[in-house]
Amino acid sequence: MTTRIPRNAKRVFYATESAFRTGPDGKVGRHAAREQSSTTFREARKFLDGLGAVGSVSIWTARSQQTNAYADRRADGSWVALDRVTGTWEPLPDPTSPTK
């Protein structure tokens, strides 16, 4: 899936699949596998959910010119997002579940 990022985008979300490999020393390491850039978190979430993979989403903002952690997809398929005020990871609701 290819997403066109506008040249003047204020935010870009980077979805990265994590792959775990055993090195020659026998240690298991976490490595980046497939990646996708998108302009919305919904697209980034859909990418990782479609792969059914553990991964993370980071966000780049034009204002700060920095990339920061945004959300993680766990092995069980649940999502957690970083609460910037408290610095803790909070569970995200399932987008397919009905809300009030």
> Taking the domains of the chain in order of start, what are their residue ranges?
11-21+29-91
> Which pLDDT score, from 0 to 100, does residue 2 have?
57
DSSP-assigned beta bridge partners for residue 17: 55
Note whether 23 and 29 are within 8 A (CB). Answer: yes
Q: What is the largest CA-CA distance in the chain?
A: 52
Q: Could you read off the pLDDT of 39-96 as tens digits, one per residue? A: 999 999 999 999 988 899 999 998 999 999 999 999 899 999 999 899 899 999 877 7
List the beta strands (DSSP E) in 1-100.
Answer: 11-22, 28-38, 55-61, 66-73, 79-83, 88-91
Rg (CA), the chain: 15
